[in-house]
Structure 1
Amino acid sequence: MFVSQEEVERLGAETWARLKASKAASRDAGARRQLQEVAWRLLAATGEQPSRWEVEVFAEPTINAFALPGRKIGVYEGMIKVSAGEGGLAAIIGHEIGHIVAEHSAERVTAELARQWGLRLVSFLLEINDVAFAREIAGILGIGAEFGLARPYGRSQEREADRLGVFMMAQAGFDPRDAVALWHRMDKLGSAGIPAFLSTHPAPADRAEEIQAIIPEALAAARG
């Protein structure tokens, strides 16, 4: 990787500060309490020190959640509603913590840097070789890269985060089958318009099937 984990955590902390400055925190005390309890159980199960993490519920109906490098977890009120209880919320938070544990953010930042430098090189090579419409071609290539290298997370990263999240759920005493139920609910939501959380993720029905296959292994690992 071109970017150190320390640098990525600094960027995560800056992003978190901007989010908190621009978005209102939820006044739903129950949702805030539930998020903290679920997050702390999951973090403790991974060997993390929960008190070092900051969690926040944002007062928007958006169906979205995220975790940032630097130990930050954000969830929107819309996602709390769709989670339909602590099991569904644990599935979402476990998945997001999985991205951080696997250092996917550093991989994503590195990919973005590679994309930017790659586009500059392509544009330069086109121009020095007098290729017609060099800038336009570079722009089109930029669109291709945007939906390839620079997407938030790749499919392999999503699967890894799902796996880590399911194992976390089992280790923390949650029922991993709640993750399957969550993704079935997400699948139904997709028919009415894709929520923000699903816009860059694999199909919910596929995720539910893959998670179902992981559950026996996760439960066995939790039992020791």
Structure 2
Amino acid sequence: MKRSLTLVTIAVSMLAIACATNAITGRRQLSLVPENELQSMAKSEYQQFLSQNKVVSSSQNKDAEMVRRVGSRIATAITTYYKGKGLANELQNYQWEYNLVDSKDVNAWCMPGGKIVVYTGLLPVTQNEAALAVVVGHEVAHAVAKHGSERMSQGLLQQLGGTALSVALSSKPAETQNLFMQAYGIGSQVGVMLPHSRSQELEADKLGLIYAALAGYNPREAIPLWQRMEAMANGSKPPEFLSTHPSEQSRIAKLQQQMPEALKYYQPMGK
């Protein structure tokens, strides 16, 4: 019994050491993986994903150009937001990329370092550029607020015993890749998804609205967007987007509560 208590004490102490305060949210997070290692892995996984899927050319397709435009504006808005808070160093190694992928899945995601993908199946739901900006803002918020890193750390702890990323990649590459894909919401086929926590979703909703507003998009579009999302889930299996982003009846009400703050940042394009 004494030995067990000692082991528990050591484990708790290690977890305390492994926690870090997020610079933008102020929340303590489990952080077992250095950001530079995650960005390096993201760069490799992103290129592999693009090579294995049909990327729509932004020079030949207006929807792909819209995704590129939204991604670029969101990236600029986030960079401005972080600079304004004296946190420019948090994004200094970001190399933003934005791609539209031909897929019926209703989904979008962002890897560390600003690696964004939007699926064509999402566009009939977003219906307009401002609503797409809300989704992209939400997904990028998960990345820059290091929610994926937090989930990856939880996965390494729960499934691989807290093994360091570099060791996990060399000893269990398939399992580690699956953890990474789960952590960033890239295809639920890889296993049981690691759900975003309530605090992560609230943070992503709030920051996503602000980022969209800073980019010149009307954050009010979030309300009808989520109404359409909820309608899709009624009486049927939730679409991919909702399966990795738990949606509750209270979500729209919470977005409405957050709207006044987001509108403070909103300056319509051209003004």
TM over 0.5: yes
Distance 1:75 1:154 in 2: 22
Match of 1:19 in 2: 49
CA contact (8 A) 2:196 2:246 kept: no
Q: 1:83 aligns with which of 114, 126, 140?
A: 126
CA contact (8 A) 1:67 1:96 kept: yes
Q: Does residue 73 of structure 2 align to residue 41 of structure 1?
A: yes
Distance 1:204 1:39 in 2: 27
CA contact (8 A) 1:63 1:76 kept: yes
Give the superposition deviation at 1:108.
1.3
SS at match of 1:153: coil
Match of 1:114 in 2: 157
Aligned positions, number:
195
Alignment of 1:197-212 (within 5 A): 197-203=241-247, 205-212=249-256
CA contact (8 A) 2:107 2:119 kept: yes
| Residue type at the aligned position of 1:9 | Q
Distance 1:204 1:14 in 2: 34
SS at match of 2:250: helix
Give the superposition deviation at 1:111.
0.5
Q: Which moved more, 1:193-202 or 1:203-212?
A: 203-212
Instruction: Tell me the alpha carbon deviations over residues 74-119 of structure 1, each in whole angstroms, 9 at most, x when there is no partner.
Output: 0100112211010110010000110111111211111111102459
Give the superposition deviation at 1:153.
2.3
Q: 1:167 aligns with which of 201, 210, 213?
A: 210
Distance 1:33 1:209 in 2: 32
Q: Which has the higher helix share?
A: 1
| Residue type at the aligned position of 1:75 | V
SS at match of 1:12: helix
Distance 2:108 2:200 in 1: 16
Higher relative contact order (CA 8 A, sep 6+): 1
SS at match of 1:66: strand
User: Which consecutive residues of structure 1, in runs of 5 or more, have no partner in the other structure?
Assistant: 121-145
Distance 1:119 1:25 in 2: 35
Give the superposition deviation at 1:200.
2.6
**TM-score (norm. length: structure 2):** 0.66
User: Which consecutive residues of structure 2, in runs of 5 or more, have no partner in the other structure?
Assistant: 1-30, 81-90, 164-190
Distance 2:114 2:245 in 1: 22
Distance 1:22 1:116 in 2: 27
